Amino acid sequence: MNSLSQPFIDYLKFEKRYSAHTVRAYNDDLDQFFSYMETAFGESTISAITTSIVRSWLASLKEQKIKSKSINRKISSLKSFFKFLLRSGVLEKSPMAGIISPKSGKRLPVYVEEKDMQLLMEHVEFPDTWKGKTDRLLIRMFYNTGVRLTELVTLKNGQLDSNAATIRVLGKGNKERIIPISTALLDEITQYQKEKQVTLGLDGHEKTDTLFVNEKGRALYVKYAYLAVRNWLSHVTTIDKKSPHVLRHSFATHLMNHGADLNSVKELLGHSSLAATQLYTHNSIEKLREVHKKNHPRG
């Protein structure tokens, strides 16, 4: 970690309480920038950073064929860093003035078709083992709640409210949201919790209070959940991306296709603005266009 960015990284960790993944992304972007600045210009101090140096670095990224989306993220990292320095009184002016983010075409979210999700949940047989039961409930939870990968694997037993049939999720930026769950899903979770104590012999002396655990009673790794979803989705769909995030996209897209209110979907997903949620309206429009073309006599 670069000593120049250390106070900023600490701020993201301990004050903003960003996830480890997000903090790592900021840190990597800043390390790359400072490394380039020292190699290309022989400069290694904050006061030496100019708009020209930033533009030179961005140009070098374009030459390396780095995608516009990745470059925009790096620009965002720098802007946040210099904004922090301005507030801290380290700088009086940000070198990011005049830096324009390259345009990047927004890709529509990839999702699993409803019929394929129905096939997976109702007809694909999961093994009658602890792993099989865990995998099945994982996929049900991802698809029925739209939660993020880290949100689900870190979900605690206490975040489930059986009386209200809701789960309390701690999302990005430490923001909390409440997600309703169906009676059927609540029953499955309750049954899983009971079996967890009996099958694994935890019986009130659990090694972890996370909802999902492996055969040893320990919290799941993020990679475990990712690989489990990829494996089971491969049974029912041929889409290239098979991940928990695709199930999150499927959750939102299917809600929109069935007429859900955009603001409600935004709240369920934990988006900070409507801009991110509006991407799912495009999928809905594509679905309507497909129906129109297929069923209208002059379609």
Q: Annotated catalytic, 248? A: yes
Residue the block writes with tokens 């959940």: 225
8 Å CB contact between 26 and 80:
yes
Active-site residue, from 55, 73, 156, 245? 245
Active-site residue, from 248, 249, 254, 266? 248
Q: Annotated catalytic, 271? A: yes
Sign (positive/negative) of CA torsion 78, 80, 83, 89? negative
Q: Annotated catalytic, 245? A: yes
Instruction: For residue 89, count other CB atoms closer than 10 A to its CB.
Output: 7
Active-site residue, from 148, 196, 249, 254? 148
Active-site residue, from 17, 156, 172, 282? 172
Q: Annotated catalytic, 280? A: yes
Active-site residue, from 74, 196, 266, 271? 271
Q: Annotated catalytic, 55? A: no
* Catalytic residue set: 148, 172, 245, 248, 271, 280
